[in-house]
Amino acid sequence: MRCELCPRRCGVDRAVSRGFCGLDSEMLIARIAPHLWEEPPISGSRGTGTGAVFFSGCTLRCAYCQNGDISHRNQGQPFSPRQLSDALRRLTDLGVVSISFITATPFVPQLLEALELWRPPLPLVWNSSGYELPETLRRLEGVIDVYLPDLKHWSPAMGKLCAGAPDYFDVASRALTEMCRQTGTPVYDAEGVMTRGTLVRHLILPGLTGESMKLLTWVRDTLPPGTPVSLMRQYIPCNGVSIPGLDRRVTEREYERVRAHMAALELPGYLQEPDSADRDFVPVFNQPESFV
């Protein structure tokens, strides 16, 4: 089958070759373990966190990616749908409050097969770059409870320079609209865990606060009222990034400018602490301790 799961539409038969993502049809996963540092509606307040499944590969080429070993270099372990299903049982038994599938787009058919074998009785979260096709997302309708997309770049120039995708905003804006159509107004349980809804993440980049403000305004003007935003200040130069201006952290002044704009827009959501910009928060991948 020719692969057209992502906006690259490379059309490669991944049973015999590798697509744009550098992946064939074998599912690769770099980490399956509890993850404590997501937003409160995803990780909860009990200290058990979300059960995070980090898939190898990515449809973007973000120059600054903090997970470059798995997103660019596809490090990971092979998993069958049955093996993934068994791992989801083990995660659930650990008491996590949700299950997060992170950059799983290249493996949608295999993931759906795993969930047919056994579906965890928890909110299922689709954590992605936002660079998605609506038709692929529609395959997840009724399966995924919560969407956790990034909204990264506004201009074609920055999409091309930073992520290798000049069409990033055009594609992501349609994808986020589809996600919100599927999930509707956010719903939370008694402990504040999101059981249905879309939570938009935006990572502030150094020198690009103007883009951040335009993206936040778009969220306010376009997505359903009450759609929460997670404003992230965790950027650190990673992956050997060499783009001038992206070789430093976000300043306090830059962060405050975007935060004030979010407040002026009256967008609900979440803010990160300054110490989130630390390599210690990058998970350990592809090691024995990376898997439950």
Q: What is the CATH number of the domain that holds 184?
A: 3.20.20.70
Is there a contact between 200 and 217 (Cβ–Cβ < 8 Å)? no
Q: What is the mean pLDDT of the chain?
A: 95
Residue 185 within a domain: yes
Residue 170 within a domain: yes
Residue 4 within a domain: no
* β-strands 77-79, 146-149 pairing: unpaired
- b vs e for 252-273, b when ≥16 Cβ sit within 10 Å of the residue's Cβ? eebbeebbebbeeeebebbebe
The boundaries of the domain holding residue 284 are: 27-290
Residue 186 within a domain: yes
Residue 11 within a domain: no
**Angle between the N-to-C axes of helices 168-183 and 156-163, in degrees from 0 to 180, rounded to the nearest 10:** 90
Q: Give per-residue pLDDT as tens, 4-13.
A: 999 999 999 9
Q: Give per-residue pLDDT as tens, 265-278.
A: 999 999 987 766 55
The model's pTM: 0.96
Residue 156 within a domain: yes
Q: Give per-residue pLDDT as tens, 11-56.
A: 999 999 999 999 999 999 999 999 988 999 999 977 679 999 999 9
- Over its C-alpha atoms, the chain yields an Rg (Å, rounded) of 18
Residue 139 within a domain: yes
Domains: count for the chain:
1
